[in-house]
Amino acid sequence: MKRRTLMQGLAKTAVACALPLAALAQAYDTSRIVTIGGATTEIVFALGEADRLVARDSTSLHPPAAQDLPDIGYMRALAAEGVLSVQPTLILTEPGAGPPETISVLEAAALPLVVVPAPYSAEGILTKITAIGDALGVPDKAQTLADQVRAELDDVAAQVANDTDAPKRVLFVLSTQGGRIMASGTNTAADGIITLAGGINAIDQFEGYRQLTAEAISTAAPDVVLMMDREGDHSSTAETLFTMPEMSTTPAAQTGALVKMDGLLLLGFGPRTPKAAQALHDVLQEQS
Amino acid sequence: MMASDTAALPFVDRRNTARRAHIWLGALLVLVSLASLAVGASGTSLWGALMKLAQGEALTLTERVVLWDIRAPRLVMGICVGSALAVSGAVMQGLFRNPLADPGILGVTSGASLGAVTIIVLGAALPAVVQTTLGAGLLPVAAFLGAWGSMLLLYRVSTRAGRTSVATMLLAGIALGALFAAFSGVLIFLANDMQLRELTFWSLGSLAGASWLKLSVAGPVILVSVALACTLGRGLNALALGEAAAHHMGVPVERTKAVAILAVSAATGTAVAISGGIGFIGIVVPHLLRLATGPDHRGLLVNAGLLGASLLLVADMVARVVVAPAELPIGILTALLGSPVFLWILLRKRGLVDM
C-alpha cells in the first residue's frame, strides 16, 4: 500500500507539474469527459468542446447548459459507482476531488484523472486553460482562448495602473448569518478578484473565511462592501447591512457602498474572470 | 390449547418468538445483501456477471471494479456498521436501564469525531512519512484512536477500586462528550472552507468510503466486539433487576459491565471511524424489536444485529440510487426514516396512536 500511495502521489505531482509534457507523451481518450470544478467546466465550454462532456460536479453551474448534464455530486464527496455509471474516459478536476477512497477506486478502474492547477491569480487562469487544452488535445484552441483572456486581463490591469484615486478598501462578506459577518481574508478567490480589480482587501490578518468581531470591522474601515448576489437573500440589503452597529461606523456605510455580483462570475477564476474584474473595477471607480 | 399454555408461561413464549425472529431476520439480511450487490448507479448486473463467471468467461474491468471494489466492500461495511450500532444501542439501553441511551451517550462518538476533525484540519501538518505510510487510512485510524482514547478515559474516571459506577459513567460520558465536541469546535473554527465542507459530509456519514483495506483492519474488531456483546443477554437481564439482585443471581456484575463497555466502545468507535456519523440505528432498532419480541436480551441482541445490518443496507441502497449519479449522505436517510419511527413508538407507548 505504501508503494502504491507513493506512486499515486508521484503520478499526480508529475501530471500537475508537467502537464504540457504529459499531454505530449500520453494522448487521452477524450470522447467522454467528466469535469469537476466550476472553472474547469467553464473552460471546456469556452473551448467549444462541451459535446465531449457526459457529466459534471455540483459546483459546475455555468454556462447554464452545464446544468443539463448529469450531476455526480459535490467534488469532495464523490461516489465511485456514480462516476463510473456515466462511463467516462477521462476526468478533469481541480485540486481537492475526493474522498481518497473514491479516487483510488477510479484509478483501479483504469480511469485517467488529470488535476488542473487552480491558483487565484491572473496567471493561474491562463495555466488552467493551457492545461485543459493540452488534456483535450486542442492546444491551438486553448492558445487562442488564453491569448484572448490575457488581453482582457491586461486591459483591466492597464486601467488599474491608470487609476488616479487611492485604491478602495474592499470588504468581501460571504454571509451575515445570525447577525455575524463572515468575511474573506487572504489566499481566497475573493482576495484574488479584489486585487485584479485594483482594490485592496480590507482584511489581511488571516487566510480564508472567518467570522469577524464587531471591532475588527470598524478597524478594517472598508470603503466598499462586496457580496454575492443570491436570489431571495433578503437578509443582506444595504439597509439591514449598514444598520448593523459594527458596520455603521465604516466609510462604506456612510456612502452606502454595497456591491453585489454573481458569485460564480466573481469567484470562479475561469474565462469570465476578466469580465468580473472589469465590472468590479468599474463599480469601485464609480464609488469615488 | 397452545394459547392457554403460553399464557401461563409468557417467558417461554417470548423466547420462542425471539428464536423465530432469528430465522426471519436472518433471511431478511440475506435478501437485502443480495439486493445490495445487485443495485447501484451503474448498469452493472450481478446476474450477468455471475452468468459470465459460471460459463468461465472473464469479467470486464468495470464489472470487476463495480462488484468487487465498490459494492462488495460496501455490503460488508454496511453489515459491520449496522450491526455494531444496533447491538451497541441495545446493550447501552440495558446497561443504563434507560430507553434513550445509545452508543453516542458514552462520548465515544465525540471522541471518534475529534480524531477525524483533527486529521481533516491539521493532517497536512503531519510528517510526510506518516502521511504516505497511512495514506487514505489516516482519517479512520485517527478516529479509531479518538474513540479508544475517550473510552479509556471514561473507564478510568468512573471506576474506583475495581467497581464501575454506571451512574457516574453516564454523567461522565455526557461531560466528556461535550468536552470533545468543544475541542472539535476549536478545530472547526480554525478550518478553511474546503475543510468545513469535508467535515460536514463526514459528520453526515456514508458507506461510500468502503474498501477492503479498511475492512481488513476494522472488520475483525467490529465482528469480535459485536459477538462479545451478543453474549451479554443473561447478564443484562439480571442487571435489569438492579446490581444487588444480579449479584445474588450469580451474575458477575463488574465483569458484565466491563465487557459491555469495552465491546460497545470498540464496536461503535470503529464503526464511526470508518463510516462517519450515522444516527438513529442504535436507538430505533432495539425499540422496534422489544415491541415485536419482548425485552429478553438473550434473543434481542442477536436480532438487533441482524435488523440493524438490514436497515442500514436498505438505507444505503436508497442513498446511492435516489440522486444517481450523485449520492446522499446516509446519516440523512437514517435520521429521516428513524425519527418518525421513533416518534411513532413513543406515541404508541403512551396510547396516543392505536396501530
Q: Which residue has the higher pLDDT, B13 or B280?
A: B280
Of B208, B325, B329, the CB nearest to A72: B325
Percent of chain B surpassing pLDDT 90:
44
Q: Say if the Cβ atoms of A79 and B208 lie within 8 Å.
A: yes
Contacts of A109 in chain B (CB under 8 A): 61-62, 65, 69
Residue with cell string 452468468: B51
Q: What is the largest CA-CA distance in chain A?
A: 61
Q: Using CA atoms, how far apart are residues A86 and B42, in angstroms rounded to an integer?
A: 7
Q: Say if the Cβ atoms of B42 and A81 lie within 8 Å.
A: yes
Residue of B nearest to A185 (CA): B192
What's residue B5's pLDDT?
42
Residue of A nearest to B205 (CA): A77
The lowest-confidence range among A24-33, B110-119, B128-137, B304-313 is: B128-137
- Count of alpha carbons within 13 angstroms of residue A65, beta-carbon side: 11
- Is-contact A262 A229, C-beta < 8 A? yes
Residue A61 has φ and ψ, to the nearest 5°, of -115, -5
User: In terms of residue numbers, what domain contains A244?
Assistant: 163-287
Domain end marker among A89, A124, A157? A157
DSSP A47-77: TT-GGGEEEE-TT---SGGGGGSPB---TTS
Instruction: Name which of B39, B45, B60, B69 to mutate to probe chain A: the one with the most chain A Cβ atoms within 10 A of its Cβ.
Output: B69
What's residue B99's pLDDT?
81
Per-residue pLDDT in tens (0 to 9) along chain A, 288 residues: 455 555 555 555 555 554 544 444 467 899 999 999 999 999 999 999 999 999 999 999 989 999 999 999 998 889 999 999 999 999 999 988 888 889 989 999 999 999 999 889 999 999 999 999 999 999 999 999 999 999 999 999 999 999 988 999 999 998 887 778 889 999 999 999 999 999 999 999 888 888 888 888 889 999 999 999 876 555 567 888 888 888 888 999 999 999 999 888 999 899 999 999 999 999 999 876
Cell representation of residue A43? 473552460
**Average pLDDT for chain B:** 87
Residue of A nearest to B62 (CA): A109
Is A15 part of a structural domain of the chain?
no
Is A42 part of a structural domain of the chain?
yes
- Is-contact A281 A159, C-beta < 8 A? yes
Residue of A nearest to B63 (CA): A109
Asked whether residue A222 falls in the same domain as residue A109, the answer is no
Q: Using CA atoms, how far apart are residues B265 and B85, in angstroms rounded to an integer?
A: 10
Residue B60 has φ and ψ, to the nearest 5°, of -70, 165
Asked whether residue A43 falls in the same domain as residue A127, the answer is yes
Quick check: helix, strand or coil at residue A1? coil
Interface of A with B (CB under 8 A): 1-2, 5-6, 9, 55, 58, 70-74, 76-77, 79-87, 96, 98-102, 104-105, 108-110, 207-209
Q: Total domain count for chain B?
A: 1
**Mean pLDDT in residue range B179-192:** 90
Cell representation of residue B289? 424489536
Is A8 part of a structural domain of the chain?
no
Q: Give the highest mean pLDDT range of A124-138, B134-148, B286-300.
A: A124-138
Of B41, B65, B327, the CB nearest to A108: B65
Of B61, B201, B325, the CB nearest to A109: B61
Q: For residue A271, say if its preceding peptide bond is cis, omega within 30 degrees of 0.
A: no
Is A3 part of a structural domain of the chain?
no
Q: Total domain count for chain A?
A: 2
Is B225 part of a structural domain of the chain?
yes
Domain end marker among A138, A157, A176? A157
The DSSP letter of residue A169 is: E
Asked whether residue A138 falls in the same domain as residue A206, the answer is no
Return left, alpha or beta for B139; rule: phi > 0 is left, psi -120 to 50 is alpha, else beta: alpha
Q: What is the pLDDT of residues B324-347, one digit of tens each?
A: 889 998 988 988 888 887 788 778
pLDDT category of residue B3 using cuts at 50, 70 and 90: very low
Asked whether residue A173 falls in the same domain as residue A81, the answer is no
Q: Is the pLDDT of residue B9 over 60?
A: no
Contacts of A207 in chain B (CB under 8 A): 192
Asked whether residue A138 falls in the same domain as residue A228, the answer is no
Q: Say if the Cβ atoms of A85 and B136 lie within 8 Å.
A: no
- Is-contact B262 B288, C-beta < 8 A? no
Quick check: helix, strand or coil at residue A258? strand
In order of A154, B170, B171, the CA distances from B101 in angstroms are: 64, 9, 12
Is A2 part of a structural domain of the chain?
no
Quick check: helix, strand or coil at residue A11? helix
User: In terms of residue numbers, what domain contains B70?
Assistant: 58-338
Domain at A174, CATH number: 3.40.50.1980
Is A28 part of a structural domain of the chain?
no
pLDDT category of residue B17 using cuts at 50, 70 and 90: confident
The lowest-confidence range among A220-229, B19-28, B101-110 is: B101-110
Give the 3-state secondary structure of B125-168. HCCHHHHHHHHHHHHHHHHHHHHHHHHHHHHHHHEECCEECHHH
Closest CA to A185 of A167, A169, A205, A213: A205
Q: Using CA atoms, how far apart are residues B212 and A147, in angstroms rounded to an integer?
A: 48
Interface of B with A (CB under 8 A): 40-43, 61-62, 65-66, 69-71, 132-133, 135-137, 192-194, 197-198, 201, 206, 208-211, 213-214, 320, 323-327, 329
Is B282 part of a structural domain of the chain?
yes
Domain at B116, CATH number: 1.10.3470.10
What's residue B12's pLDDT?
54
Could you give the ipTM of this predicted complex? 0.77
Contacts of A9 in chain B (CB under 8 A): 132
The CA R_g of chain B, rounded to the nearest whole Å, is 21
Contacts of A77 in chain B (CB under 8 A): 198, 201, 206, 208, 327, 329
Domain end marker among A157, A178, A207? A157
Give the 3-state secondary structure of chain B. CHHHHHHHCHHHHHHHHHHHHHHHHHHHHHHHHHHHHHCCCCCCCHHHHHHHHHCCCCCCHHHHHHHHHHHHHHHHHHHHHHHHHHHHHHHHHHHCCCCCCCHHHHCHHHHHHHHHHHHHHHHHHCCHHHHHHHHHHHHHHHHHHHHHHHHHHHHHHHEECCEECHHHHHHHHHHHHHHHHHHHHHHHHHCCHHHHHHHHHHHHCCCCCCCHHHHHHHHHHHHHHHHHHHCCHHHHHHHCCCHHHHHHCCCCHHHHHHHHHHHHHHHHHHHHHHHCCCCCHHHHHHHHHHHHHCCCHHHHHHHHHHHHHHHHHHHHHHHHHCCCCCCCCHHHHHHHHHHHHHHHHHHHHCCCCCC
